[in-house]
Amino acid sequence: MAALPTEIIAEILSQLPVKSLLRFRCVCKSWYFLIKTPNFVKIHLDQTIISNSDRHLLLYYPRLDSAELDQNLVCFSEVLHPLEPQAVHLFGSCNGIICIADLHKTDIFLFNPLTKSHYNLPLNQILNLKVGYMLFGFGYDSKNDDYKILRLVQGFTKEKVFYSEAQMYSLNNNSWKSVQGISSYLLFSDCHGVLVNEALHFLANSEELGLTGEYIASFDLQTESFSLMDCSKFVHKIGNYLMILLAQLGGCLCALVNNNTNFILEGADLWVMKEYENKESWVRLYSIGQECIQSRVQIKPIVYSVDGKRVLLQIDSLKFGWYDLESENVEMFTPQGLPDGSLETESFLGSLVSLEDKHHSDKETSPRQNKNDVDSFLSSEFKLIL
């Protein structure tokens, strides 16, 4: 291996999952410093996104468990995390980083479940907001190379006056600040923002703006402002109770419409926005009847299979199934190691992103010859190859 050019070694390593790379850091000093360089971390992340590989499932609340999705056998194991309480809330995931908080939301961490890199957010500046129900959202602003967290508080005063306040945390600045709020009442107080196209999405009712019905409130992480998107195309049934869940699937915003009569699930439709912000591009990807899923509450889309022909569904908390888009059948399966309790499921990509590096420069330096080879290579040729 020592005879191979640096660019060949880096190209090979960039195709590997994070768990393998963490072990390979011990092979030699040049590999250790190569795998730690910010350019390699970015290239590896881009390669993982393109290949749709190194995917993991995450179960949360009250505890945190993960499983590798690319294996034939899905087996969960508990994840050690920096939160002391066991009741873990998940506010979102992005680039292999997840945002978690304790039951009372007094501690919020950004955390990489694979590398264990984590960062505790300061909270002293956000405790003065009014008491109400809180919604969060977490995502990445590529323009400013910054991870951001949105915190929304909504409720009613004793005089029954509606209020809505918002603050945003920037990892680059390591601080919170007030941002533009939204006059709309956000529906479903336990549904945090869904990240698509570097914007966070919430279901909202916009009667205060002269509009009726359900809309999607979108918070752009770059402009730090809200806008509204019409979703009337799939909210058209009158008389039935519609439980609508927003999700991200294959990089697109999607909405799962659970059709209920007298709070009994009859079926579910998955709508996907093929072209972002184009309300005419909403298409129904599938419609699942009760006979396929045997669900009493709701189903939730998690992630596409690697070939894009199936969708992983979570059914009534701890049941799972692959929905085949061609045959329109659901293949149920039971993962190993499922913990007790009612849990929520999300997916995340494996990455080497280090949160500490955002605030602390890496003082370690590799041998001069290897460092020069790595730096010159990562800044030119390998970027063009990928």
What are the tens digits of pLDDT across the range 262-303?
556 677 888 999 999 898 899 998 887 655 555 556 778 899
Q: What is the pLDDT of residue 291?
A: 57
Residue 258 has pLDDT above 90, yes or no: no
Segment (H or E) for 384: helix 381-385
Separation CA 77–CA 113 (nearest Å): 12
User: According to the model, what pLDDT value does residue 43 have?
Assistant: 94
Q: Taking the CB of residue 95, how many other CB atoms lie within 10 A of it?
A: 20
pLDDT for position 260: 64
Distance of CA 384 to the CA centre of its chain: 28
Residues 35-64: tens digit of each pLDDT: 999 999 999 999 999 988 899 999 988 889
Q: Can you tell me which residue has the tokens 């505890």?
A: 63
Question: Angle at Cα 211 formed by Cα 206 and Cα 216, nearest 5°?
Answer: 45
CB 143 within 8 A of CB 129: no
> Packing angle between helix 6-13 and helix 368-378, nearest 10 degrees?
60
Q: DSSP letter at 130?
A: P
Per-residue model confidence (pLDDT) at position 268: 80
* pTM, rounded to two decimals: 0.86
Q: What is the pLDDT of residues 14-25, one digit of tens each?
A: 999 999 999 999
User: Using CB atoms within 10 A of its CB, is residue 358 exposed (0-12), middle (13-18) or buried (19+)?
Assistant: middle
Report the sign of the C-alpha dihedral through residues 36, 38, 40, 41, in that order.
Answer: positive
The yes-or-no verdict on residue 362 having pLDDT over 70 is: no
Burial of 26 by CB count in 10 Å (0-12 exposed, 13-18 middle, 19+ buried)?
Answer: exposed
| pLDDT surpassing 60 at residue 128 | no
Confidence of residue 208 (pLDDT cuts 50, 70, 90): low
Q: Which amino acid is at 80?
A: L
Question: According to the model, what pLDDT value does residue 377 have?
Answer: 37
Which secondary-structure segment (H or E) carries 200?
strand 199-205
Q: 147-188, pLDDT tens digit by residue?
A: 999 998 888 777 777 788 899 999 999 999 999 888 777 776
- Counting beta carbons within 10 angstroms of the beta carbon of residue 168, is it exposed (0 to 12), middle (13 to 18) or buried (19 or more)? buried
Contact 352, 21 (CB under 8 A): yes
HSE toward the beta carbon, residue 324, CA cutoff 13 A? 8
For residue 337, give both structure tokens: 């190691």
